[in-house]
Amino acid sequence: MYSGPTVLRAARLLDVEAGEMHRDAVVVVEDGLITAVNPASVPDVMHDMDLGDVTLLPGLIDTHTHLTREVGADFFTDYVTRTEAYGAFNAVRYGGITVRAGFTTVRDYDGPVAVELGRAVERGDIVAPRVIPSRHPLGITGGHCDITGFAPGIREGGPEEGIANGPWEVVEAVRYQIKHGAKVIKTCATAGVMSLEGPVGAQQYTLEELTAMVEEAARHGIKVAAHAHGPEGILAAVQAGVASIEHGSILTDEIMDLMIEKGTYLVPTTYLVDRIALDQLPPLVRAKAEEITPLARQSLRRAIARGVPIAFGTDAAVFPHGENAGEFGIYVGMGMSELDALRTATIHAADLLDTPDRGRLAEGMLADIIAVPGNPLDDISVTRDVRFVMLGGRVIKHVVGGRDMHPMGR
Ligand SMILES: [Zn+2]
């Protein structure tokens, strides 16, 4: 495979940070990094690609995925009928779909498989997004991050599996996840939709437990992401100092102002509302989804208007992998500009993930580059039609005349 420098040419390039669209753009890539953007003189290289009438963007970042599965009729029985190997093969397949949809980095919450997926990608063994893995999410016994609905003795867990009660068990669980590769700690601060326990918004971890978790993770330089729907749990998580609130379905003005003050990101995961296959889910889960989704939409609209920091995240698995970019259209439909929507999946997501080496097209950044037809500042839906993907300098997708020159597709 050719490994020398590559020159990419395109009709447009979006500088997401400055908000400027450059015409007749040139990007030079070498050794997996961007070495120049629009240089005064373009080097003469063997690999000089003109991508034509497209817009170059930084590889997109989805800060909330589950690459080991996808919701279907077996979603709940999979916990007892499938092994981790099943999730690993899924992760290769869904990771391939996701990266070809233009998402070159994900923060993934699916256990040890996500850790190894990320390592395999960095070795160059498989084509999937770069992964910031949480390993097992932390939750209370019987909470959203536990597996409930089965007889006693089936799928019980402790701190090693992320099930931890009280500050000291929480600390133990954080240490264990980090020992085995977690780069972020995910927790369930409240109940949830896709699980068989009580009211969807109920607080599950106390402020004391959440504070112990955030403080222990911080000692390792690691952030906490808190799944939270109800206001009491969201407030406790923000007060404890988590870096992001996942879903954030019921936001009060007080919570939003505290998030702005502390720089806590909201990761909305709202596109799934349009796409969730409710008819395949147990009645309790369906009822919870129907209760929470209108509230979540209202909260997101208010958060955008108020200026709460937002990082792009979808909960892909609850809807089919590869449709991640559908989330942009929700943000724009709720009053966010197209440019700010793109920032949620680039500079804001990179800030949340502590990955300053991506999210912009600039010298020294990772050569994770995508191209979309037309101008995404005029029509954000073009992000659903990614024509070209480069991952670490390697071209993994290039659609020419409707045909992918690197076919692996869904
Ligand atoms: Zn999720």
CA–centroid distance, residue 269 to ligand 1 (Å): 8
Q: How many domains does the chain have?
A: 2
Whole-angstrom distance, CA of residue 240 vs CA of residue 319: 31
Of 352, 371, 387, the position where a domain reaches its end is: 352
Residue 20 CA to ligand 1 centre (angstroms) = 33
Q: Judge whether 223 counts as a catalytic residue.
A: no
Residues 348, 228 within the same domain: yes
Instruction: Quote the pLDDT of residue 273.
Output: 82
Helix intervals (H) in 59-186: 78-81, 84-100, 111-123, 167-179
1: in domain: no
**Ligand 1 center to 65 CA (angstroms):** 6
Q: Rounded CA gap, 325 and 383, in Å?
A: 6
358 CB-side CA count, 13 A: 32
Residue closest to 61 by CA, chosen among 345, 339, 351, 360: 345
**Mode of pairing for the β-strands spanning 388-391 and 394-400:** antiparallel
Q: What is the CA radius of gyration of the chain?
A: 21
Same domain assignment for residues 142 and 245: yes
In a domain, 309, yes or no: yes
**3-class SS of residue 85:** helix
Question: Does 289 map to a domain?
Answer: yes
User: CA separation (Å) from 361 to 53, 62, 237, 375?
Assistant: 18, 17, 33, 16
The reported pLDDT for the residue numbered 396 is 95
Q: Over the stretch 354-407, which tens digit does the pLDDT of each residue have?
A: 999 999 999 999 999 999 999 999 999 999 999 999 999 999 999 998 888 876
Using CA atoms, how far residue 157 sits from 185, 202, 256, in Å, is 17, 21, 34
Pick the last residue of a domain from 333, 352, 371: 352
What pTM was estimated for this model as a whole?
0.96
Task: Please say whether the beta carbons of 212 and 171 come within 8 A.
Answer: yes
Query: Does residue 340 lie in a domain region?
Result: yes
pLDDT at 203: 96
Same domain, residue pair 333 and 366: no
Domain shared by 267 and 240, yes or no: yes
C-alpha span between 194 and 199 (Å, rounded):
12
- Determine, yes or no, domain membership for 409: no
Is 148 domain-assigned?
yes
Q: Within this chain, do residues 65 and 54 fall inside the same structural domain, yes or no? A: no
369-373 and 54-58: which strand pairing? Answer: antiparallel
Is residue 48 included in any domain, yes or no? yes
The question of whether 186 is a catalytic residue gets the answer yes
Q: What is the pLDDT of residue 3?
A: 64
How far is residue 117's CA from residue 66's CA, in Å, rounded to a whole number?
12
| Annotated active-site residue in 62, 146, 315, 368 | 315
Write out the H or E segment, with its range, that includes residue 213.
helix 207-219
Nearest to 139 by CA among 293, 246, 218: 246
Q: What whole-number distance in Å separates Cα of residue 376 and Cα of residue 82?
A: 41
Which residue, 334, 267, 338, is CA-closest to 306? 334
Q: Are strands 388-391 and 369-373 parallel, antiparallel or unpaired?
A: antiparallel
Task: Tell me: do 22 and 91 sit in the same domain.
Answer: no
Cα 34 to averaged position of ligand 1 atoms, centre (Å): 32
Same domain assignment for residues 312 and 326: yes
Do residues 70 and 28 both lie within one domain?
no
Domain co-membership, 227 together with 268 = yes
Output the furthest CA–CA distance in the chain (Å, rounded).
69
Residue 72 CA, ligand 1 centroid: distance in Å: 15
What spacing in Å lies between the alpha carbon of 125 and ligand 1's midpoint?
26
What residues in the chain have per-residue pLDDT under 70? 1-3, 407-410
DSSP-derived letter for residue 408 is: -
User: What is the domain-level CATH number for residue 51?
Assistant: 2.30.40.10
* Same domain for 287 and 233: yes
**313 and 164 belong to one structural domain:** yes
Domain of residue 42, residue span: 6-58+359-404
Q: Are residues 282 and 371 in the same domain?
A: no
Catalytic residue chosen out of the listed positions 183, 186, 288, 397: 186
pLDDT value of position 201: 87
CATH of the domain at 275: 3.20.20.140
For residue 124, is it within any domain?
Answer: yes
Domain boundary among 334, 352, 370: 352
For residue 2, what pLDDT is reported? 62
